[in-house]
Amino acid sequence: GAVVSQHPSWVICKSGTSVKIECRSLDFQATTMFWYRQFPKQSLMLMATSNEGSKATYEQGVEKDKFLINHASLTLSTLTVTSAHPEDSSFYICSASNPSDTDTQYFGPGTRLTVL
Amino acid sequence: AQRVTQPEKLLSVFKGAPVELKCNYSYSGSPELFWYVQYSRQRLQLLLRHISRESIKGFTADLNKGETSFHLKKPFAQEEDSAMYYCALSEGIYNFNKFYFGSGTKLNVKP
């Protein structure tokens, strides 16, 4: 099956610092990965689409300078929350599509970010 | 624009009772609809998708284009079905297979 991992699983940082979250597809190559944000007891909100070798496309209302996305290889996408503030505290989830089954997205376990 | 609507935040049923989790969508093209499930402390995982017309863990869902619905049904709920259920819509390959999720319904199956 398709497995997606995220690292770290949780992170606590001080306000004003930057935090990088990694998303890896472990057993397939993903040309496209997706980043979501999930607030407590709410649904997943699509933040951006990460495309290997090109710029990410952001959903309306998501600050691209705040949430930097880099898809450096076919198995790795990173999300960097820059100059983090307490309101950025959330659960960040990535997903990837297996090229052999592009209809379906496979999700990572998520990263809990807490900004103090 | 809200593409996927799940009107119920919480649904409680007794074991053995039928269950229906509602999902309505708004999309002008030909959507691809999915149900994802999230068990306690686990990641989201695919439950079923409309194009495969399969039954997983006793759950089925039929795409009704006239009513723009994709309700999830199971005739006899089990305690292990307790989880968060998310309906999702994909805009297909023409929009990078982006997924949009409903707000989710928490299913609680009581013994």
- For residues B89 and B101, give the distance between their C-alpha atoms in angstroms, rounded to a whole number: 7
Helix, strand or coil for residue A44?
strand
Which pLDDT value is given to residue B36?
A: 93
How confident is the model over B89-99, as pLDDT tens digits? 987 766 667 88
Among the partner residues A43, A46, A108, nearest to B104 by beta-carbon distance: A43
Closest CA to A34 of A111, A89, A107: A107
- Residues B49, A103: C-beta atoms closer than 8 Å: yes
Q: Which residues pair with A94 in a beta bridge?
A: A35
Q: Are B48 and B55 in contact (CB under 8 A)?
A: yes
Which pLDDT value is given to residue B71?
A: 96
Alpha carbon of B20: minimum distance to chain A alpha carbons (Å): 19
- Residues B49, A57: C-beta atoms closer than 8 Å: no
**Which amino acid makes up residue A66?**
K
Question: Is the bond into A8 cis (omega within 30 degrees of 0)?
Answer: yes
Contact partners, residue B28, CB within 8 Å, separation at least 6: none
Which pLDDT value is given to residue A95?
A: 93
Which pLDDT value is given to residue A91?
A: 94
Q: Which residues pair with B19 in a beta bridge?
A: B74
Mutate to test the interface with A, among B34, B99, B103 (most CBs of A within 10 A): B99
> Consecutive sets of 10 residues in chain A, 116 residues long: mean pLDDT of each?
89 96 92 89 87 87 93 91 95 87 82 96
Which pLDDT value is given to residue B95?
A: 66
Residues of A in contact with B90 (CB under 8 A): 103
Mean pLDDT of the region B63-75 = 93
Closest CA to A86 of A10, A15, A17, A34: A15
How confident is the model over B29-43, as pLDDT tens digits? 778 899 999 998 888
Closest CA to B82 of B47, B21, B39, B41: B39
